[in-house]
Structure 1
Amino acid sequence: MTILEKAPAKINLSLNVLSKRDDDYHDVEMIMTSIDLADRIELERLQDDRIEISLESRYVPNDERNLAYKAAKAFKTKYGITEGVHITIDKNIPVSAGLGGGSTDAAAVLRGLNKLWSKDIPLNELAELGSSIGADVAYCVYGNTAIARGFGEKIEKLSSPPPCWIILAKPDIGVSSRTIFSQINVEELFHPDTAAILEALEDKNFSKLCNHIGNSLEPITFAMHPEVQHIKEAMTHAGAAGVLMSGSGPTVYGLVEQQSKATRIYNGMRGFCEEVYLVRLIG
């Protein structure tokens, strides 16, 4: 038996760091939405009690360091599964990009194993298990548009954004979320207006959404990697209505209503970096 799962990337419409916790994590408030750039996950049963990972990427490990491996191990442990699984990951989402590539793979493994082993576990229970694997995994179990609170484990579904095109531009660097978060001084951070973004989503107001998207981590990443700021400035100058860095970076995205304008910006951004994508929202 083989199960196929789509693992969509995400972008942050907001990332607000509220405070540092006693456990060294940070309390955050993040509004995220899924886009149609996705990895594909294939799961096959193994009779032996082992986990195998196959993928063609020199940047992603195929052992217990992989979040997909950790998800399978956590699932097997929690639900007493003694069969094994072979996991094939077809990577399309850039690595260390702020797009949730590892987290969405882990979430897809949890959803897929639920089907492979006929467990009928509700999504909220899978999301709780996912939160023990990585901060964005709980959100990725659900996908679509949601707000994540706590360290990312408290998920509330939201109205989807108004229809638009998204241009993604990733410079040829990787950014470690752990490194960026270690540089945070909460008192010095910019805090996005979450309430205004929620209103824009509810009203399907594209202009209001673009005017209020925000990311507390941008100044930190910009200081460490000036090329990320240059890409944001270039995309803004090219005419994208709303431009923001996703996650801890380095990917920058732009929101555009008209396909012709989005295509023009996409073509222009290809002069700034090799990894540029033109995608849409899921749903």
Structure 2
Amino acid sequence: MDKLELKALGKINLGLDILGRRDNGYHDVRMVMQTVYLYDRVTLAKKAEPGIEIETNLSYLPVGENNIAYKAAALLTEEFGIQEGLKIRLDKHIPVAAGMAGGSSNAAAVLFGMNRMFGLGLSMEGLMERGVTLGADVPYCIMRGTVLAEGIGEILTPLPPMPKCHVLIAKPPLSASTKTVYEKIDREGVREHPDIDAILAGLEAGDLYKVAAGMGNVLEQVMLPEYPVLGRIKEIMREAGALNAMMSGSGPTVFGIFDSRGKAKAAAARLKRQTPVKQAYVTNVHNVRRK
């Protein structure tokens, strides 16, 4: 196998709670993660010359050692003494730095793909153990589906699949540093915790409306006051028929859950008319786990 194409899927957080901060700076979290069918295409190709080469359709992305996909390739190359070189092509469609784990999903795809391409024989658990050294979201991006994430995000428990629905993903032209957002919540403290158990109960019952009613993201407490447009996006989604709308991860992406594709598309059109949102995608949840 000299070439392999993979889909690196994005994620949303149906629920995100922070339980505390560790001495090393990482946070103990309790999150419900969900894969969505919005993806970057990752192409791996062997090359005769040693070394890792990355190219991408976005000129502003790093293509050297600061790229997490490069780090993933370097990790396996060094550990297994791979002599051949590797060329990685990243065709990016997941919004960048937007709370959707696009970079982590790219790294997960590289780990998964290299394991197959070079016959490394690593189990899914082995890939996830290596993934967490690259980033807290990488193990989840290897597993995919509907998952409860605990610890720093690396303790993963598969959940009943999210009921079928339509997801509107909207990213305003803002930049939010994950590190800065978490530092702010550390300073201000958590005023109200989302009800993660309510989401789990809704998933167990296979009830989309219960899942949507339980959605919550503790990081909105610091992001919404600073960026009022996020609240406006949520408001428009709900007015247009979203069962609920919420920021994903540390933002600034906002997503809405809809029981009708028509309502989701109408909401996307309204967002583009009434807010600065230019990136708006209507997609579905994706519940197929890697094997």
TM-score class, shorter: over 0.9
Deviation string, structure 1 residues 190-246 (Cα, Å, up to 9, x no partner): 211111111111111111111111101012112332222221122122221111100
Map of 1:137 onto structure 2: 138
Distance change in 2, residues 1:87/1:136 (3 Å): same
Task: From 275, 286, 289, give the equivalent of 1:282.
Answer: 286
| Gapped regions of structure 2 (runs ≥ 5) | none
Match runs of 1:19-168 below 5 Å: 19-168=20-169
CA contact (8 A) 1:39 1:93 kept: yes
Rounded to whole Å, the distance in 2 between the matches of 1:183 and 1:232 is: 22
CA contact (8 A) 1:15 1:29 kept: yes
Of 236-245 and 211-220, deviating more is 236-245
Map of 1:10 onto structure 2: 11
Secondary structure of the corresponding residue to residue 184 of structure 1: helix
In percent, how many aligned pairs have the same letter? 39
Instruction: Kindly report the root-mean-square deviation, in angstroms, between the aligned alpha carbons of the 2 structures.
Output: 1.3
Match runs of 1:225-236 below 5 Å: 225-236=227-238
Secondary structure of the corresponding residue to residue 251 of structure 2: coil
Please report how far the alpha carbon of residue 187 of structure 1 lies from its aligned counterpart in structure 2 after TM superposition. Answer: 4.0
Map of 1:192 onto structure 2: 194
Of 184-193 and 163-172, deviating more is 184-193
Deviation string, structure 1 residues 145-201 (Cα, Å, up to 9, x no partner): 111111111111111111000011110112111110111237434211111111111
Task: From 206, 209, 213, give the equivalent of 2:208.
Answer: 206
Q: How many residues align?
A: 283
Q: TM-score, normalised by structure 1?
A: 0.96
Rounded to whole Å, the distance in 1 between the matches of 2:43 and 2:266 is: 35
Secondary structure of the corresponding residue to residue 19 of structure 2: strand
CA contact (8 A) 2:101 2:137 kept: yes
CA contact (8 A) 1:60 1:95 kept: no
Residue identity matched to 2:138: V
Of 230-239 and 186-195, deviating more is 186-195
CA contact (8 A) 2:240 2:263 kept: no
| Gapped regions of structure 1 (runs ≥ 5) | none
Q: TM-score, normalised by structure 2?
A: 0.94
